[in-house]
Amino acid sequence: MPVIIIHGGAGRIKNAAAHRRGIKKALQIGWAILNQGGKALDAVCEAVKYMEDSTIFNCGSGATLTLDGTVELDASVMIGQGEYGAVGAIKQVKNPILVARQVMEKTDHLLLVGPGAQKFSRRRGFKKYEKILEVQKRRLARFKKRGNSAYFPKLNNYLKLGTVGAVALDNDNQIAVANSTGGILGKMPGRVGDTPIFGAGVYATKNSGVAATGHGEEIIRLFLAKYVADLTDGLPAQKAVSKGIAMAKEKNVLCGVIGLDRKGNVGYGFTTKSMSWGYIGKAGEMRLF
């Protein structure tokens, strides 16, 4: 049986009910594809696309703002066969996860960033799009009012939500992972976090798939997604994730991780105050945080 697990970011979740509704809908979208014999790659991309289109999560239309008040997005996708594609600091696209997939499927590159990524998206038919929420403008104004005019003041004081992501296993035992984010509030323009970094924010093998969320710089230092995926080669997904979270906690890294293994076991954990997540498991049951 297919399996899908999704996260909506690790940090402080103010509107848990809205997050649950969003996670539930994204799960249903991904599960419908898997349950009809579709590919894991399609399932994770469509689930994340829904979350990008929603304004509930910190990605796509709901993204946080840079210090300059602009929207810069990161996204990545990877499948168990080792194929990978990502975009970083891309502007004016609605669904960076779909652009990342195009990088994987239509180019020999792994990662495109900034203006180059944006130019590629136009060539692939993605229309110009930018949505800046009033609530995000207010958050940035409060951020600056507190004197946060430099990069990374006291992180604990303002880390709210991070990446969204999905990991799926299909009927052909293929695994796919997708991640998308608006980054951290008040980041410097041009900053790229863990989401589009191979092995940091996402990683997939024939035996496992892992997606991470949280403080991107520290997740990159830990190479967290690959660390957990490697553990999954010998452990069930939950034990592998728990070991990864324990290691992150020892190093005071704010993060969350979701994953699954080839047998369809799921795993999740976080070092932050909370993380929104949900899955539909091997028996078709749904569980939400």
Residues designated as active site = 163
CA 204 to chain centroid: 14
Q: Which residues contact 108 (CB under 8 A, 6 or more apart)?
A: none
Distance CA(199)–CA(269), nearest Å, equals 18
**Residue 217 one-letter amino acid:** E
Crossing angle of helices 40-53 and 96-106, rounded to 10°: 150
CA dihedral sign, ordered 7, 152, 71, 16: positive
Residue 5 CB burial class (10 angstroms; 0-12, 13-18, ≥19):
buried
The string of DSSP letters for 222-278 reads HTHHHHHHHHHTTS-HHHHHHHHHHHHHHTT--EEEEEEETTS-EEEEESSSEEEEE
- CA torsion sign for 61, 67, 68, 69 is positive
